[in-house]
């Protein structure tokens, strides 16, 4: 039996694993609490994609409390 909050956490963790969109303006938002997540690792550009890993710093957020890292994907669409 999984309650509504657990389902939200599972869903947010899945998004964190799969990667959220990285916005050049807003950065990556935590998929659970929508706070801007602080990047701790930035990969090199791979083609027009760049992967970052973030942690949510909102102490009330479940992803932050579980120290789940959030993957983000930035896509450079300029010049296409
Ligand atoms: Zn969060």
> Residue 1: its pLDDT value, please?
58
Cα separation, 47 vs 69, in Å, equals 23
Q: pLDDT tens across 24-37, in order?
A: 899 999 999 999 99
CA distances from 62 to 4, 30, 37, 46 (A): 13, 10, 13, 31
Annotate 42-68 with three-state secondary structure: ECCCECCEEEEEEECCCCCCHHHHCCC
User: From the CA of 17, how far away is ligand 1's center (Å)?
Assistant: 14
> Residue 2: its pLDDT value, please?
67
User: From the CA of 80, how far away is ligand 1's center (Å)?
Assistant: 33
User: From the CA of 44, how far away is ligand 1's center (Å)?
Assistant: 25
pLDDT band (50, 70, 90) for residue 78: confident
Per-chain residues with Cβ under 5 A from ion ligand 1 = 30, 32-33, 56, 58, 61, 63
User: From the CA of 79, how far away is ligand 1's center (Å)?
Assistant: 33
User: From the CA of 23, how far away is ligand 1's center (Å)?
Assistant: 16
Q: Could you state, in order of their start, the residue ranges of all structural domains in the chain?
A: 4-75
Long-range contacts of 5-11 (CB under 8 A, 24+ apart): 5/62, 8/32, 9/62, 9/63
Are the C-beta atoms of 50 and 76 separated by less than 8 Å? yes
Q: What is the pTM of this model?
A: 0.89
């Amino acid at each position: 039996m999984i309650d509504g909050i657990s389902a939200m956490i599972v869903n947010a963790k899945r998004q964190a694993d799969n990667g959220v969109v990285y916005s050049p303006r807003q950065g990556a938002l935590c998929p659970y609490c929508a706070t801007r997540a602080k990047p701790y690792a930035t990969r090199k550009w791979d083609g027009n994609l760049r992967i970052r890993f973030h942690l949510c710093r909102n102490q009330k957020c479940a992803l932050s409390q579980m120290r789940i890292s959030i993957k983000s994907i930035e896509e450079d669409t300029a010049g296409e």
